Amino acid sequence: MAHAHASIVDAPAAGPASASALVCALPHAAWLVALPQAVVVAANEAAARLLGRPVGELVGAPAQQLAASPEDLAWWAAMAGSGWRSSGCPTEGPVAPLLDSDTVFAAAAGQARHVRRSISLVPDEADTGRAWALVMVIDRTPEQAVDAEREARVAELEATLESAADGLLVTDLAGGLRSFNRRFAAMWGLPDELLRARDDAGIVAWMQRSVLEPGAYAQRLRTLFDSPLLAATDRVALLGGPVFERVTRPLWRDGRPQGRVWAYRDLSERLAAEERIETLSSTDPLTGLPNRRVMSGWVEAAAQASGGSGEGRQGFAVMVVDLDHFRQINVSLGHAMGDRVLRHVGERLQGCLRDDDRLARIGGDQFGVLLTGADARAAEATARRMLNVVAQPCALEGATFTLTCSIGIALAPAHGRSADELARHAEAAMRAVKQAGRANVRLHQARAEVDRRSHMMLDHAMRQALVSGRFRLAYQPQVSLADGRIVGAEALLRWRDPELGEVPPARFIPVAEESGFIVAIGDWVLAQAVRQAALWHQRGWQVPVAVNVSALQFHQAQFVERVASVLAVAALPPRLLELELTESILVHDADEALARLHELHRLGARMSIDDFGTGYSSLAYLKRFPIGKLKIDRSFVQGLPGDETDAGIVRAILQMSLALDMRVIAEGVETEQQREFLVREGCAEMQGYLYAPALDPLSFEQRLAQSRVDEAGPAQPGAGAPGQRIRLVRG
C-alpha cells in the first residue's frame, strides 16, 4: 500500500491547503484529521463516495464518526488520552502508519465494506506545533468477495473429494505426490506413520510393495509417466485379494499437462458378486457339482480341441451315469434322504476320476462325466469302477441299502463331434443298459441306429409275409435214443422273402418279439402246426408236434383259450401238442405263469422248457411247474464229450431230471460221439442234424414212414446200437 507523505508547507488553523489538495489528488478514499481535536479538516471525493456523504458534510465531522470500527474508536480514544505528541512523530524519513489493518466499514446505505485502512501522522516539518493525521481507506470489498468465493470453492471441492467412493490421487509429471483423499489412503492401507510424516517416497514404495505383480505394475507406471497425454483405464490386483479399477487422466493447467489424476475404484465386491452369480448359474446347488450347462461347455471345448488335425488331437469319452430305481429311495426314505444319497453318490463317483476328468450333475438322478484322453477301454474301466463304488452298500442315518447305476458311454471322435451328438449317444447307450436289466455299462453302438432302421423294414416285410402266406413250417424230427424211432417233431418257422431271400428265424423272431408282431405270428404257427398234427393223426401217426411259444404270446390274456380252441377246431388230442416255453416265461411273474401252466396242463397239452440251462431256473423252481420235458440247449451239447464243463452240465441236468421225474431231449446233436455220450449218460431223446434237420411236411412224412418201417421190420441188433439205424442227414 502506498502511504501518503504530505508536507505541510503552511499551516492554517483549519489545515494546510496544500495538504487538502494532496488529499483530493489521492486515488483512494482519504481524509485529513486535525489533532488533537480529531476533527476532519479535508476529505476527497473517493471518501465521499465510499461513505455516502458529501465532502462538505465530512469536513468538520469527528474522526470517530467516519471510521467507527471498534479498532478505530479505540485508536482515536487512545490518541486523545495519551496526547498526540506522546505518540511521537519522526521529522525525517518515511512516515510509518500508526494503524494499518483490514476492517469493515459501515458505508453508504448501511452496506458493509471490507477495507484496508491506515492512519499516519503528517509530520510537522514547519514545526508549527500543530499536527494532522491522514486516514486512507482502500475498498477491498470486490477482492474480498472473490477470495471468499475461492475459499468456498476449495472447501466444497475438498469435501467432494473426501466424500468420493473412489480413492483419488494427484501426481505431478514426475510422479511426485501432490494430494490424495482419505479413501485413497484407506484403500491402499497406507500406515499412519507414512501419512503423518507425509513421506511421499515411502507411500510410493508402499504401493509398489502392495500389488500382486510389482514388475508389471512398475512397468505400467513408467509407460504412463512417459506419455503425459495418455488417458487409461486398467486393473490393479493387490496382495490379499482386492482388485482396483484404475482410471488415470492427464491434469491440465494453462493448456499443458501438469501431472496426472488417478482414481481407484474397489472392484472386489463387484467381482465377488459376479463370481457368486456365475457360481449359482453353473452349479447344482444340491451337490455343489457343475450342472448340465457347464458339462455341455466342457464337451464342446473338448470337441473343439480334438477337432483339429495333427499331434495334439486327443479323443475323449462322455458318460451318462443314471441311478437305478432312485425314485424308490425318494418314495420310501423321503426326499431329504434322497438329496443326501445324491450328494453321497456324487462324492463316490468323484473318487473314481482322475484330476483331468470332469463330473457334473446333469439331471435328477443323472451324472455326466467327461474323460479326457480316454479310449473305449479306459472309459469302460472307469465306468466299471463307478458301477462298483456305487454298488457298495450305503449306510445313511440308520438306513442301509444298495444302489446301482446304469452307464452309457460315447466316444469322440468315433461316435460324434458335437456335444449334443455325444450326449445323445451316451444317453441312448444308458437307456439300452436300463432295458437290458440295469446295473451295467454300455458303449454306444454306431450300428444301433442302422439296426433300428433295418428292424423297421424287417418288421414291415414280416407283416407282408404273413398276409401273403410266405411263412411255412418245417418239422425237425425228435428221435428216441434208445431205438432211433421218431417220437415227435418240432415245428420251426421258415420264411422266404422275394427280396431278402431265406430269412433265418434267429434274425426275424427277435424283431417280431420287439415289435409285438410275434403274437400274430405265434398264433399262425400254433394253428398251422396243430392242423398238421391233426392231419398226421388222421393218417394214423401219433406224432406229438412241438411249438415254440414266445413270452409275449404266453402272457396274452386269451392264450389258454386260444390253445383250447385251436385244438378243438382241428380235433387234435391235446397230448399231441407240446408247447416249448422258455425259462424267462417261468421266472417272469411266476405266480401268473404257474396258474396258466396249470390251466394248460388241465387242458391236456404237454409242456417243455426250451434251451434249458441258459436261463436261471433252479431245481426248487422247476418242482412247482407241471413241466414234462427239458430240452438241453444246443450250446451244452456242442462241446460233448470232450468239454468237461459241458459234460458236467449235461450230467447234472440228466440227474436233476431223474429227481424231478422229467424227460430230457438233447438239442443240436450233430456227431456220433455226442450221441454216444448222451446214450451213455441215460438221455432219452435227441434232435439234431445227426438225424435230420427241419424238414418240409412231405419229407418228414417219408422219414416217419421209414422210421415206422424200421420199427416194424426185421429184428434189429437192439436198443444198444441205434446208430446203425440212424442215417445222417444234413440239410
Q: Which residues of this chain interact with Mg ion, rule CB under 5 A? A: 548, 580, 610-611, 667
Site stretch for ligand C2E (CB under 6 A), options 16-24, 336-344, 530-538, 685-693: 685-693
486 forms part of the interface with ligand C2E (CB under 6 A): no
The DSSP output letter for 283 is: B
Give the orientation angle of helix 505-515 with respect to helix 446-467, to 10 degrees. 90
610 forms part of the interface with ligand C2E (CB under 6 A): yes
Q: How wide is the angle at C-alpha 14 spanned by C-alphas 8 and 16, nearest 5°?
A: 20
Virtual CA dihedral for 264, 269, 271, 275, nearest 10 degrees?
Answer: 170
User: Residue 434 Cβ, how far from ligand C2E at the closest point, in Å?
Assistant: 25
630 forms part of the interface with ligand C2E (CB under 6 A): no
User: Residue 691 Cβ, how far from ligand C2E at the closest point, in Å?
Assistant: 9
What values do phi and psi take at 36, rounded to 5? -90, 0
DSSP string of 219-247? HHHHHHHH-TT--EEEEEEBTTS-EEEEE
Site stretch for ligand C2E (CB under 6 A), options 361-369, 427-435, 500-508, 673-681: 500-508
Interacting residue with ligand C2E among 55, 509, 543, 665 (CB under 6 A)? 509
User: Which of the listed partners (ligand C2E, Mg ion, none) does 136 bind, with a CB threshold of 5 to 8 Å by partner kind?
Assistant: none
- CB-nearer residue toward ligand C2E: 97 or 688: 688
Given a contact cutoff of 8 angstroms between Cβ atoms, the answer to whether 343 and 387 are in contact is: no
Give the rounded distance of the alpha carbon of 558 from its chain centre.
Answer: 53
Query: What's the CA gap between 261 and 497, in Å, rounded?
Result: 91
525 forms part of the interface with ligand C2E (CB under 6 A): yes
533 forms part of the interface with ligand C2E (CB under 6 A): no
476 forms part of the interface with ligand C2E (CB under 6 A): yes
Query: What's the CA gap between 642 and 449, in Å, rounded?
Result: 41
Interacting residue with ligand C2E among 15, 259, 416, 688 (CB under 6 A)? 688
Counting residues that bind ligand C2E (by CB under 6 A) gives: 23
- CB-nearer residue toward ligand C2E: 531 or 624: 531
Give the rounded distance of the alpha carbon of 259 from its chain centre.
Answer: 48
DSSP string of 311-342? TT---EEEEEEEETTHHHHHHHH-HHHHHHHH
Interacting residue with ligand C2E among 100, 347, 670, 681 (CB under 6 A)? 670
- CB-nearer residue toward ligand C2E: 482 or 520: 520
User: Which of the listed partners (Mg ion, ligand C2E, none) does 476 bind, with a CB threshold of 5 to 8 Å by partner kind?
Assistant: ligand C2E
DSSP H or E stretch at residue 195? helix 192-197
DSSP H or E stretch at residue 115? strand 112-122
543 forms part of the interface with ligand C2E (CB under 6 A): no
User: Residue 365 Cβ, how far from ligand C2E at the closest point, in Å?
Assistant: 37
User: Which of the listed partners (ligand C2E, Mg ion, none) does 522 bind, with a CB threshold of 5 to 8 Å by partner kind?
Assistant: ligand C2E
The DSSP output letter for 729 is: -
- CB-nearer residue toward ligand C2E: 599 or 670: 670
678 forms part of the interface with ligand C2E (CB under 6 A): no
Give the rounded distance of the alpha carbon of 450 from its chain centre.
Answer: 33
493 forms part of the interface with ligand C2E (CB under 6 A): yes
550 forms part of the interface with ligand C2E (CB under 6 A): yes
Structure-block grid coordinates of residue 335:
426326499
- CB-nearer residue toward ligand C2E: 202 or 505: 505
Give the orientation angle of helix 672-680 with respect to helix 644-660, to 10 degrees. 40
The DSSP output letter for 716 is: P
User: Residue 667 Cβ, how far from Mg ion at the closest point, in Å?
Assistant: 5
Query: What's the CA gap between 213 and 40, in Å, rounded?
Result: 78
Virtual CA dihedral for 586, 590, 592, 597, nearest 10 degrees?
Answer: 40
506 forms part of the interface with ligand C2E (CB under 6 A): yes
Site stretch for ligand C2E (CB under 6 A), options 71-79, 234-242, 325-333, 501-509: 501-509
**Residue numbers of the site for ligand C2E (CB under 6 A)?**
476, 492-493, 504-506, 509, 522, 525, 548, 550, 580, 610-611, 634, 667-670, 687-689, 694
